[in-house]
Amino acid sequence: MSETLQPALDPHAFAQSELELAEKMIFEACHSQVAAVSVGAAHVMRAGGKRLRPLVLILAAKACGYGGAERSARLGAAVELIHTATLVHDDVVDESDTRRGQDAVNTFFGNEASVLMGDYLVCRALRMIAEESDLELMRSICDVIVSMCEAEVLQITYRGDLENTFDNYFRVIRNKTACLFSFTARAGAHLGHASAAVRERLALFGLNLGTAFQIVDDILDLTGIEEELGKPTAADLREGKFTFPVLHAIRHAEGRDRESLLQLSDAQVDEVIDLVRTAGGFQAAYDCASEYAERALDALSGLSDGPALQGLRSVTARVVERRY
């Protein structure tokens, strides 16, 4: 049976050796001459996460013909370090108590160390990206992190705003999440020496995949099970971050439901979630995420088929289907 006909290819298994190498590099990056830094960084990175970004980078590189392991593992590790650093800084930002089933780093180490640990991880990651002799990659990751900061500030300014627009919501999630996915997929294409056109396709794939991912993340924040998510449910809602399902409900609820939603801060979280469900907020959000996933798949069309491309398709499907 040809590999291209395997319908249920497990992308993690296909990229296993590179993922293991990326994991090794992540922990090498945690190693510091200062013992407290090593302990803190390893604690943060050990908390896990799905390593989705390294997986996407490794698969994109393979899909574009990169035959090695080291460079895709290193760039994948770097992207994961950057992603985790933003979570660590986000924990300072949001004063949340739990993240990924462990104590948030700021609860564990205090705000001071969390800020420094995030800075450390980002700069270690940038140093790894600088190993690639490609200044465009360097410039591009700096731009992406700048966008991520801007998006986080935007999100603060929109907090508690019941009349916030979908445009604003999409602007935030694009810059906060999708741009890093876009960088990730394009960096894979870079390793495969793909043409400019193919790099753009991969960048577009990542942008749409990241958008779908964040919409689903925002749904799961409201509907997920705390033990599965590894963080408290409805954290966004409690912080006044109104995401797709809530914004949809505010627009589509009628009568008393609508009035209740407009006095959202007085309502119980469970009550709000029920109102959002009744107004079709979750279904609409899933539909929207699926649409972005479709766009991501479209961006891949025309690339030569094979297990790596199948892996990217499979990742895309799982991003929408996941329940945690």
State the residues that interact with its own copies by CB under 8 A. Answer: 32-34, 36-37, 40, 89, 92-94, 111-113, 115-120, 122-124, 126-127, 130-131, 133, 135, 138-139, 142-143, 145-146, 148-150, 152-154, 156-157
The minimum distance between CB 174 and its own copies, in angstroms, equals 12
The minimum distance between CB 138 and its own copies, in angstroms, equals 5
The minimum distance between CB 133 and its own copies, in angstroms, equals 6
The most distant pair of C-alpha atoms in the chain lies apart, rounded to whole Å, by 62
Nearer to its own copies, 14 or 109 (CB): 109
Nearer to its own copies, 86 or 314 (CB): 86
Among residues 121, 125, 97, the alpha carbon closest in space to that of 43 is found at: 121
Backbone angles phi, psi at 225, to 5 degrees: -100, 130
State the number of CA atoms in the 13 A half-sphere of 288 facing the CB.
23
CA distance 9 to 281: 32
Q: Which residues pair with 98 in a beta bridge?
A: 103
CA distance 147 to 93: 17
Nearer to its own copies, 144 or 203 (CB): 144
Nearer to its own copies, 173 or 272 (CB): 173
The minimum distance between CB 120 and its own copies, in angstroms, equals 4
Residue 247, number of CB atoms within 10 A of its CB = 23
The minimum distance between CB 199 and its own copies, in angstroms, equals 19
CA distance 264 to 259: 9
Nearer to its own copies, 149 or 197 (CB): 149
List alpha helices for 253-322, DSSP H.
Answer: 255-262, 269-278, 281-300, 307-321
Nearer to its own copies, 141 or 299 (CB): 141
Among residues 11, 118, 31, 29, the alpha carbon closest in space to that of 75 is found at: 29
Nearer to its own copies, 3 or 131 (CB): 131
Cβ contacts of 133 within 8 Å, gap of 6 or more? none
The minimum distance between CB 254 and its own copies, in angstroms, equals 34
CA distance 31 to 105: 17
The minimum distance between CB 47 and its own copies, in angstroms, equals 19
Among residues 93, 9, 84, the alpha carbon closest in space to that of 52 is found at: 84
Nearer to its own copies, 106 or 233 (CB): 106
User: 22: helix, coil or strand?
Assistant: helix
Among residues 125, 118, 124, the alpha carbon closest in space to that of 40 is found at: 118
CA distance 87 to 105: 9
The minimum distance between CB 160 and its own copies, in angstroms, equals 14
